[in-house]
C-alpha cells in the first residue's frame, strides 16, 4: 500500500523529497532463461520475477514458456529445461500480458540487464505488445561501481550471491536467480548508502557517474580534429598505451572521459595517459589500416587484439618424399615446389579441426618421421599401418604410387576443390546422426566449418595478394569519393576526391605516388594478414566500385565460400534436432544446398562481388 503525505503550506520539504526514496521504490527483479539465440527470435524458456519494496517481497511471478523452437543440449544441461519440460507450457503471446501487468510501473532490475531487456523488448516487438520502457537497474554494473576489485574475483551472480551470503543460491532457473538477485540488490543498496545514495535518482546518478580521474583528464581531448583517423594515448615517457580509430577523433576521445566509458582497463589507461596524439587519415579504411599497423609496431599494452600476428597458424602440405600436413607459423616460398597452405587460423585447435576434415577424405601419413624417397625398411613403423589406416610410405614395399595419388588429391583440395572433403564429412555426419551420436556429428560439422572458412579465406588472400595494382573507390556522404590503391594486398595510397572534382584524375595521381610493394609468398599478402582481410571486407561492402585492376579477380568455385556461408548461417540461426536434417546438411533452402548446384570442373572460378565503376 502506498501512502501520500501532503506537506502543509509554508513548510519546507526535506532533502529526501527532492527524489524518490529507495524505500518507496517498487523494484521488479527479473531473470530469464533462454535458448541462447538472438534476442529478436525471443527464444525465452522461463520468466521469473520478484516485486519488492522497502525490503518486503510484494509478490512473485514465475512461468515456463514454450519458445516454439528446440532447446540446445548445452542449454538444457545448464538449466535443466528441456523440450519435454516446456512442451505443455504457454507460448509468449499468452505470457507477456501477465508479465507486463506484474511489471507495472516498477523499476526493472536484472543481473546483466541489457541481456534480459533485449529479449523482453524483442518479444514485445515480435508479438506486437507495447514495451513500457521502464527504468532499469543492472546489478552487475552496480556491483562493478560499488565494489572494489579486490573484494570479489568477478561480478557474476553466483559470485556475488556467495559473497553477500544470499538466502537463495542461483541455479540457472529464473525464479531462483531472481530471488538471489533480490538479496544481491539489497546488499548493494546498503553499500551505496555509504556514498550518499538515498533516492532512485541518486542511484541512477551513481551508476552513471564520472570518476575524478576522467574529469581531470578531459583536457586531453582539447584541440583534437573532428576528422577520421587514428588516436594514440601515450604516457609521460611517450610510450603508446592504446591505439584506436574513429570517424571523428575528437568525439571518440571525448567519450573516454564521460560516464559511457565503463571498462576498467580503459579507466586505468586514462589514469596513466598524459597526451593523445591524433593521426588524421583521408578515409576510414586508411584509419583502420593505420590502426592495425601501429598496434603491431608499438605493441600498446592496453590493446588486446591484433598485437601478435606471429601467433597465427597455417596448415601446410609439406614438400618432402612423403608429404604430410603440418601446422606452421608462416608461409614459405615453396608453393611452386608443390607445397600448399590454408589459413591463417587464430589458434591451433581450429587448424587441427581443418586437418581432421582433410584427412577424412585424403588420408596421408600423420607421423613426423623423415622418410626417404626409396626407404629400405621392410617394417612400417606405426600402428596405423598395421591397422590398414596408412599406406606406410616409410616401408620399402609400400605402394608409393597410391600414396602419391592421395597427396595429389589433397593438393587439389587445398588448391580450391573441396567437394570430395565436403562429401566425405557430410557422409560421416549423416551416419553419426542415424546412430543418434549427435555430439560427434556436431564436432564433424565444426571441422568442416573450420576448413571451409580457412579455404575461402586463403583463396581470398591469394587473389588480392597476387594483384600488383588494384584501384577501388566508394562514394561518400558528401557526394565525393574515397579512393584506395592496393598493391599485393597492402594499402599503398588513400585519398578523398571532393565533390565536383574529377575522381579519375585523383585516382591517377594516387597511383603515381603510391608506395611500391613487393609481393609475398602466395597465398600470403604483402602486408599484414589482418590488413588484407580488412581491405577485402571493404571491397565487398557498400557501393565500392572497381576502377582499375591488373588482372581478373576470381575465386575457386568450390573453394569453401558457399559451404562456409551455409554452415555459418545454420550455426547462427538453427538448432540441431534429432531428425538430423542439419547434421546431414539436408537444408530446406535449395539455394544453399551444394547438391543442387550444376557440376563444374575442379578449377572452375567465379568472379568476386566487385562492381565496375
pLDDT, tens only, 387-434: 667 777 777 777 788 888 999 999 999 999 999 999 999 999 999 999
Rounded Cα distance between 290 and 279, Å, is 9
Do residues 568 and 592 touch, judged by C-beta distance below 8 A?
no
Would the pLDDT of 259 be above 90?
A: no
What are the angstrom distances between the C-alpha of 95 and each of 41, 44, 179, 346, 584?
16, 11, 20, 43, 36
pLDDT, position 609: 31
Rounded Cα distance between 133 and 411, Å, is 58
| Span 334-390, pLDDT tens digits | 998 999 999 899 889 999 999 999 999 999 988 888 887 777 666 666 767 766 677
- Residue 260: pLDDT band (50, 70, 90) is low
Phi/psi of residue 272, nearest 5 degrees: -90, -30
Would the pLDDT of 306 be above 90?
A: no
Phi/psi of residue 252, nearest 5 degrees: -70, -45
- Residue 585: pLDDT band (50, 70, 90) is very low
Would the pLDDT of 10 be above 70?
A: no
| Span 314-327, pLDDT tens digits | 999 999 988 999 99
Which residues have C-beta within 8 Å of that of residue 278, sequence separation ≥ 6? 224, 225, 229, 230, 231, 232, 249
Cell numbers for 369: 618421421
Mean pLDDT of 274-290: 95
Would the pLDDT of 13 be above 70?
A: no
Rounded Cα distance between 81 and 64, Å, is 9
- CA-closest candidate to residue 472, choices 502, 441, 510: 510
Cell numbers for 156: 557474476
pLDDT, position 601: 33
- Residue 74: pLDDT band (50, 70, 90) is confident
- Residue 572: pLDDT band (50, 70, 90) is low
pLDDT, position 611: 31
High-pLDDT (> 90) share of the chain, %: 58
Mean pLDDT of 139-152: 85
Mean pLDDT, the chain, rounded, equals 84
pLDDT, position 239: 93
Sign of CA dihedral 33, 36, 41, 45: negative
pLDDT, position 300: 92
String of b and e for 109-124 (b: at least 16 CB within 10 Å)?
A: bbbebeebbebbbbbb
Q: What is the 3-state secondary structure (H, E, C) of 327-390?
A: EECCCCCCHHHCCEEEEEECCHHHHHHHHHHHHHHCCCCCCCCCCCCCCCCCCCCCHHHHCCCC
The more confidently predicted of residues 374 and 275 is 275
| Span 202-227, pLDDT tens digits | 888 778 766 777 777 888 988 999 99
Rounded Cα distance between 482 and 283, Å, is 6
- Of the CA atoms within 13 Å of residue 89, those in its CB half-sphere come to 22
Sign of CA dihedral 445, 568, 288, 216: negative
DSSP annotation of 257 reads T
Would the pLDDT of 66 be above 60?
A: yes
pTM for the full predicted model:
0.60
The more confidently predicted of residues 80 and 602 is 80
pLDDT, position 398: 76
The domains of the chain, with CATH numbers, are 19-207 (3.30.420.10), 212-307 (3.40.1440.10), 314-461 (no CATH), 467-550 (no CATH)
pLDDT, position 120: 95
Would the pLDDT of 516 be above 50?
A: yes
Would the pLDDT of 40 be above 90?
A: no
pLDDT, position 358: 95
Rounded Cα distance between 519 and 466, Å, is 7
Amino acid at each position: 500500500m502506498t501512502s501520500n503525505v501532503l506537506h502543509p503550506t509554508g513548510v519546507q520539504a526535506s532533502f529526501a523529497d527532492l527524489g524518490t526514496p529507495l524505500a518507496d521504490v517498487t523494484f521488479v527483479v527479473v531473470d530469464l532463461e533462454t535458448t541462447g539465440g538472438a534476442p529478436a527470435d525471443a527464444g525465452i524458456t522461463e520468466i521469473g520475477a520478484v516485486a519488492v519494496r522497502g525490503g518486503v517481497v510484494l509478490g512473485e511471478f514465475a512461468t515456463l514458456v514454450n519458445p516454439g523452437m528446440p532447446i540446445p543440449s548445452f542449454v538444457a544441461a545448464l538449466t535443466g529445461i528441456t523440450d519435454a519440460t516446456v512442451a505443455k507450457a504457454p507460448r509468449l503471446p499468452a505470457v507477456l500480458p501477465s508479465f507486463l501487468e506484474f511489471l507495472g510501473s516498477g523499476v526493472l532490475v536484472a543481473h546483466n540487464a541489457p541481456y534480459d531487456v533485449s529479449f523482453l523488448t524483442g518479444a514485445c516487438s515480435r508479438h506486437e505488445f507495447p514495451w513500457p520502457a521502464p527504468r532499469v537497474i543492472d546489478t552487475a554494473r552496480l556491483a562493478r561501481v560499488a565494489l572494489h576489485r579486490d573484494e570479489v574475483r568477478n561480478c557474476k551472480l553466483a559470485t556475488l550471491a556467495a559473497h553477500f551470503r544470499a538466502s537463495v543460491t542461483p541455479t540457472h532457473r529464473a525464479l531462483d536467480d531472481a530471488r538471489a538477485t533480490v538479496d544481491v540488490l539489497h546488499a548493494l543498496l546498503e553499500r551505496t548508502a555509504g556514498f550518499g545514495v538515498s533516492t532512485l535518482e541518486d542511484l541512477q546518478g551513481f551508476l552513471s557517474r564520472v570518476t575524478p580521474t576522467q574529469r581531470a583528464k578531459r583536457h586531453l581531448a582539447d584541440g583534437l580534429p573532428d576528422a577520421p583517423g587514428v588516436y594514440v594515448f601515450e604516457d609521460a615517457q611517450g610510450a603508446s598505451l592504446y591505439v584506436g580509430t574513429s570517424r571523428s577523433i575528437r568525439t571518440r576521445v571525448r567519450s573516454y572521459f564521460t560516464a559511457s566509458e565503463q571498462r576498467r582497463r580503459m579507466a586505468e589507461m586514462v589514469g596513466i595517459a598524459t597526451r593523445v596524439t591524433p593521426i588524421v587519415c583521408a578515409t576510414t579504411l586508411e584509419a583502420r589500416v593505420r590502426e592495425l599497423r601501429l598496434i603491431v609496431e608499438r605493441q600498446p599494452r592496453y590493446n588486446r587484439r591484433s598485437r601478435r600476428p606471429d601467433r597465427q597458424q597455417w596448415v601446410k602440405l609439406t614438400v618432402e618424399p612423403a608429404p604430410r600436413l603440418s601446422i606452421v607459423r608462416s608461409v614459405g616460398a615453396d608453393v611452386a615446389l608443390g607445397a600448399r597452405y590454408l589459413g591463417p587460423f587464430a589458434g591451433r585447435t581450429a587448424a587441427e579441426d581443418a586437418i581432421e576434415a582433410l584427412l577424412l577424405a585424403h588420408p596421408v601419413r600423420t607421423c613426423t618421421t623423415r622418410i626417404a624417397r626409396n626407404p629400405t625398411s621392410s617394417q612400417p613403423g606405426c600402428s596405423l599401418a598395421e591397422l590398414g589406416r596408412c599406406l606406410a610410405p616409410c616401408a620399402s614395399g609400400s605402394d608409393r604410387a597410391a600414396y602419391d595419388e592421395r597427396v595429389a588429391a589433397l593438393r587439389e583440395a587445398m588448391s580450391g576443390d573441396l567437394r570430395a572433403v565436403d562429401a566425405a564429412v557430410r557422409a560421416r555426419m549423416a551416419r553419426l546422426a542415424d546412430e543418434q551420436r549427435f555430439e560427434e556429428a556436431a564436432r564433424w560439422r565444426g571441422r568442416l566449418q573450420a576448413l571451409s572458412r580457412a579455404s575461402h579465406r586463403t583463396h581470398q588472400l591469394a587473389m588480392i595478394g597476387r594483384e600488383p595494382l588494384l584501384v577501388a573507390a566508394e562514394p561518400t556522404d558528401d557526394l565525393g569519393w574515397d579512393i584506395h590503391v592496393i598493391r599485393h594486398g597492402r594499402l599503398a595510397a588513400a585519398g578523398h576526391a571532393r565533390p565536383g572534382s574529377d575522381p579519375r584524375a585523383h585516382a591517377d595521381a594516387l597511383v603515381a605516388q603510391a608506395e611500391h610493394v613487393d609481393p609475398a609468398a602466395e597465398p600470403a599478402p604483402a602486408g599484414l594478414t589482418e590488413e588484407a582481410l580488412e581491405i577485402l571486407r571493404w571491397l565487398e561492402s557498400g557501393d565500392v566500385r572497381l576502377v582499375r585492376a591488373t588482372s581478373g579477380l576470381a575465386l575457386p568455385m568450390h573453394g569453401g565460400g558457399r559451404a562456409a556461408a551455409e554452415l555459418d548461417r545454420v550455426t547462427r540461426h538453427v538448432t540441431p534436432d534429432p531428425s538430423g536434417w542439419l547434421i546431414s546438411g539436408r537444408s530446406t533452402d535449395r539455394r544453399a544446398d551444394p547438391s543442387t548446384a550444376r557440376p563444374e570442373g575442379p578449377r572452375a572460378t567465379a568472379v568476386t562481388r566487385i562492381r565496375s565503376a
